[in-house]
Amino acid sequence: MKEDQKQEQMGLQLEVDYIAGGTFYTGFAKYITTEGLFVTTTKVAQPGEIIFMDIYLPNYKHKLKLKGRVIKSYEYSVDDTPPGMEVKFLGLREQFREVIAEFISSFQMEEEM
């Protein structure tokens, strides 16, 4: 994911419910792009693991049901990175990609105000 996209969303707090290894967890998205997101959580999945997520965006009336692969995971804070995992979306529907892109655009506009 692009570094500039990550930096522009430092104040982001989106709830993310996810299932990893058959267990349900909740975390928060630190950033989101149309390719993936970073979920802050102390219950990290291992790199390569597939997880299923429900994400609630304020610009969309339904939860987004997404699938992703864990790219990196951090059990402890490392430098400025909190415990959590970087996840790449798999099979993202075009409709959801557009909803995420609209959210990112509106979030960036609010940050500039």
Domain that holds residue 27: 3-112
- Residue segments in the chain with a per-residue pLDDT below the cut of 70: 1-11, 108-113
Please give the pLDDT value at position 10.
Answer: 54
Q: Which helix (H) or strand (E) holds 3?
A: helix 3-7
pLDDT at 101: 92
Instruction: Identify which of 53, 50, 52, 45 has the alpha carbon closest to the alpha carbon of residue 72.
Output: 45
Number of structural domains in the chain: 1
CB 111 within 8 A of CB 11: yes
Look up the CATH number of the domain holding residue 108: 2.40.10.220
pLDDT of residue 48: 97
Q: Give the per-residue pLDDT at 109.
A: 59
Is 69 within 8 Å of 60 (Cβ atoms)?
Answer: no
Q: Distance between CA atoms of 101 and 64, rounded to whole angstroms? A: 13
pLDDT at residue 2, rounded to an integer: 46
Supply the pTM of this predicted model. 0.83
Rounded distance between C-alpha atoms, residue 25 and residue 107, angstroms: 25
> Is the separation of the CB atoms in 17 and 25 below 8 Å?
yes
3 state DSSP class of 5: helix
Calculate the CA 3 to chain-centre distance: 14
| The predicted structure's pLDDT at residue 112 | 54
